[in-house]
Structure 1
């Protein structure tokens, strides 16, 4: 899925990712969303995973596998995923936060392998689910403005 950076869906995905960041107690714009295909999100964490004390830890979201936790590499290569949250591609923000908190605490949540690849047919459902997180001012049409 490729999103227009100004679309309602993009704004909803940014808000959803921001709500996950807030559920983790992070402040400010501590996350980003990449709208080109594959659509992804990234939240750097302040804490580290017990098995990788010298590596930064981040939460990743993508349209195919949902949330995962990954460690940063020193060489600028792709991050190394250490755990996937599970089958729900868009779980509630507190669920994602609990996944990260438990991982940092050494409670080994999640699963080591991706939960499966989402089929193209599922993308309409994903867009509908993301849209639920649109800021309220985007869901109420205002005279003279068109919501997309």
Structure 2
């Protein structure tokens, strides 16, 4: 199920923490919550529409995608109905990097362009309980 990123009505702590994390990333990027969606089905993922374009793709809007196994990637919007074109991956050891690191990733893309085309394997797929633990750790630190 994909839902717009608004204050969650489901009080499950992991869902709330995921919405908070994506909201924090959106805030670090200067993006409103109306530009964000979270897909809570397995695998859990998120989408952030950005109001920016890359020099390498001047006629396409940039978006960020988050995936519970690969973390963040940058993608170029396509025509209606087509899949997004992934052009870069943040990588690193953490599937939930701090929001300022995600914002820096976008800034680096805007200045240096895309570099990493293969998705990193950040962690083996766990259960939703594993993801909930990671999100709870993020919520405690944030």
| TM-score tier after normalising by the smaller chain length | 0.7 to 0.9
Residue 108, structure 1, aligned to residue 113, structure 2: yes
| Max Rg structure | 1
Greater Cα shift, 70-79 or 122-131? 122-131
Q: How many residues align?
A: 130
Residue 126, structure 1, aligned to residue 131, structure 2: yes
State the match for 2:100 in structure 1: 94
Q: Deviations over 1:57-86 (max 9, x none)?
A: 100001111000001111422111000000
State the match for 2:22 in structure 1: 17
State the match for 1:32 in structure 2: 37
Between the aligned partners of 2:22 and 2:89, the Cα distance in structure 1 is 16
Between the aligned partners of 2:139 and 2:102, the Cα distance in structure 1 is 18
Gaps of 5+ in 2: 1-8
Structure 1 segments of 4+ aligned residues over 6 angstroms from their partners = none
Question: Structure 1-normalised TM-score?
Answer: 0.78
Between the aligned partners of 1:17 and 1:110, the Cα distance in structure 2 is 24
Between the aligned partners of 2:122 and 2:138, the Cα distance in structure 1 is 23
Residue 68, structure 1, aligned to residue 70, structure 2: no
Residue 55, structure 1, aligned to residue 60, structure 2: yes
Between the aligned partners of 1:72 and 1:13, the Cα distance in structure 2 is 24
Say which structure is richer in helix.
2
Q: Cα RMSD between the aligned structures?
A: 2.2
Task: Name the SS of the counterpart of 1:99 in structure 2.
Answer: helix
Question: Is the contact made by 1:99 and 1:109 (CA closer than 8 Å) also made in structure 2?
Answer: no
